[in-house]
Structure 1
């Protein structure tokens, strides 16, 4: 085996998602496994360069994991010809400018979403990347999760017949920060810093719906701020200016209707933090992050509405669990592997900056729908 090193500038690894999912559970996990086998006698060895604003935090992470390279100077790292890939998991408001620099420097780019704060900026990134001839990818992790992979298996196998509708529930209670620390950074609740659940979650819903069921053709949404005041990391109160809940209806190409509720102000009464129920003429399924349950037409009970007597059926017991039938890797790591193979071995990959722009577009139109109180068409975008 020949070992080939790929140097990856990772910006934003001091944040929760950048550290846990991208650095530890993806890049370092690949190193612990001995690298990524490209299938041609070559093993790819990822070498991360940790980038951020807080030198002490970067140094602590590097020491904890035995890493050598850290920097607070993005420009200097991008000017280094030995750096192959730039990865971004910063706060949304800082992402577009950094990606623009990385593309101009000729680096392949891989990034969290949303890719920009508006559709114009997201499309410009895709255009710049195409003109520069670099390879580019956007994290679309949820379609790599076991529950949705099982759901995809059902769709591909024709289990549902004609799919009629999709209903999604996402969210949990994020503490305000006064008497218990919040589980999310305070910038998530300030519009000026790129916060808001529509900007955060609608890009996810776009690729989940697009990949599994069809392109989103219209959106009608209501975004609101249920909790108007929160407390930041220093215990100081601040006004929450970004939406913390959104209720959306999406029409899809082919006639499927999707309804998805997203909220950081809801207490969980479901099996997982996100669940999608898919109903079709031949069967239904409920998929979460890991599990997936089904009820086929032939095994569908016949409930009768009668509010005057207690229910005698335990409805959840009438569903069958979909077996794993295979091993499932971490979804972030699985997509990293595909992108690295795309960059280093020209493997197939279509979750690019244009796909990321579709997510930004849906968030932008969702917010506009909420302000204007009407359904809005979602046009196809292209470069």
Structure 2
């Protein structure tokens, strides 16, 4: 069987997400399984070139995963003759420069989100990438989670009837860093370094809501910085200048109301770190990262509210498990495989559904969320004024 080896510049793999999800669980995993099959029957083998600012970290990562190519010079990596893709998982404030360099070098671009620090920059970058004619994509990993794929199956199958509402809960307690080490890097809590849960999670909620339930038409957001001081990686106390919780209400096309709570200052009392409850006229469902349970109209019990008596029903047992019906892989890896096939395909219908225009929509919702919080009012979500194709 023919092999097609494709060079990928991976910029930002010394960070948690770039290392674990994109390098280890996606690219390295694809290499270990022998590649992925292309439309023409050949095997696509990714050949990563690691790029970052810390030479020592790059060397250690390369040795750990038995890789030989790494550099601190992005231009050097982009000039390699076998490179076809540029991937960026750097800090948001560094991303635009890397993407522009990749456009100049004529490489396909795959990028983490947010694609830029603000909406104007995101739209400008999306327009630049679109007009270049280069294949491009933005990571929208939650769409590939098993729980949400099963939920989407219910939506597409008409299970809910008319969808009324969506309620999402996401988050966990991130330790302050003094008596226990924080699970997230300190820049997440510094607005001057691009931190904040609104900037982080509203990009996710935009594509989840848009692509599973319907386009977002308005937003009201209440943000908060619940933990005022945290401790960095060196154990030094610093003031938290970014929001660590966001409570959002979104109106979707068709009158669907979505409520999304996002917090790094909450303790988990649910089955999974993120859960969505969807209620419709014909049925309801609760989906998490992996599981999805549903209750049809015909099987809905008739509870009676009586605060003077203990509950006698086990409400969780009244829901049915939605079966897998397929084998689910890591969501990041699934989208990497899609993008690799997209880049190597010559077919006209090989479109990647989540391009830089979709990425700009996430930045738009985050910016509107921050504005809504500042002004204390509901805001409409206007059209971006840019389409995926010229």
Judge same fold: TM > 0.5, yes or no: yes
Q: Which runs of 5+ in 2 are unaligned?
A: none
CA distance in 2, matches of 1:261, 1:41: 45
Q: Residue in 2 aligned with 1:116?
A: 116
What SS class does the counterpart of residue 7 from structure 2 fall into?
strand
Native 8 Å contact 1:6 1:84 kept in 2? yes
Q: Residue in 2 aligned with 1:301?
A: 301
Q: Residue in 1 aligned with 2:286?
A: 286
Residue range with higher mean Cα deviation, 204-213 or 35-44: 35-44
Q: Residue in 2 aligned with 1:133?
A: 133
CA distance in 2, matches of 1:113, 1:126: 12
Give the C-alpha shift of residue 2 in structure 1: 1.0
CA distance in 2, matches of 1:89, 1:129: 17
Give the C-alpha shift of residue 42 in structure 1: 1.2
Q: Residue in 2 aligned with 1:369?
A: 372
Q: Which runs of 5+ in 1 are unaligned?
A: none
Cα distance per residue 1:53-109 (max 9 Å; x no partner): 111111111111111100001122223343111101111111122112211221111
Native 8 Å contact 2:146 2:328 kept in 1? yes
What SS class does the counterpart of residue 250 from structure 1 fall into?
strand
TM-score by length of 1: 0.99
Q: Does 1:208 align with 2:211?
A: no
* Alignment equivalent of 1:358, drawn from 350, 361, 365: 361
TM-score by length of 2: 0.97
Q: Residue in 1 aligned with 2:329?
A: 329
Q: Does 1:156 align with 2:156?
A: yes
What SS class does the counterpart of residue 351 from structure 1 fall into?
coil
Q: Residue in 2 aligned with 1:179?
A: 179
What SS class does the counterpart of residue 27 from structure 1 fall into?
helix
Give the C-alpha shift of residue 230 in structure 1: 0.0
Native 8 Å contact 1:197 1:263 kept in 2? yes
Aligned residue runs from structure 1 range 48-63, under 5 A: 48-63=48-63
CA distance in 2, matches of 1:93, 1:78: 20
Cα distance per residue 1:287-317 (max 9 Å; x no partner): 0000001011011011111111111111111
CA distance in 2, matches of 1:172, 1:130: 37
Native 8 Å contact 2:206 2:362 kept in 1? yes
Q: Residue in 2 aligned with 1:382?
A: 385
CA distance in 1, matches of 2:72, 2:323: 46
Q: Residue in 1 aligned with 2:320?
A: 320
What SS class does the counterpart of residue 44 from structure 1 fall into?
strand
CA distance in 1, matches of 2:99, 2:330: 25
What SS class does the counterpart of residue 222 from structure 1 fall into?
strand
Cα distance per residue 1:209-262 (max 9 Å; x no partner): 001011100000001100000000000000000000000000001111100000
What SS class does the counterpart of residue 84 from structure 1 fall into?
strand
Q: Residue in 2 aligned with 1:71?
A: 71
**Aligned pair in 2 of structure 1 residues 365, 351: CA closer, same or farther (>3 Å)?**
same
Cα RMSD of the aligned pairs, angstroms, is 0.9
Cα distance per residue 1:295-344 (max 9 Å; x no partner): 11011011111111111111111111111111001110110011111111
CA distance in 2, matches of 1:227, 1:260: 20
CA distance in 2, matches of 1:125, 1:217: 23
CA distance in 2, matches of 1:6, 1:108: 11
Q: Residue in 1 aligned with 2:342?
A: 342
Aligned pair count? 383
Q: Residue in 2 aligned with 1:233?
A: 233
CA distance in 2, matches of 1:167, 1:150: 17
Native 8 Å contact 1:354 1:382 kept in 2? no
CA distance in 2, matches of 1:72, 1:15: 14
Native 8 Å contact 1:165 1:278 kept in 2? yes
Cα distance per residue 1:191-222 (max 9 Å; x no partner): 00000000000000000000101110000000
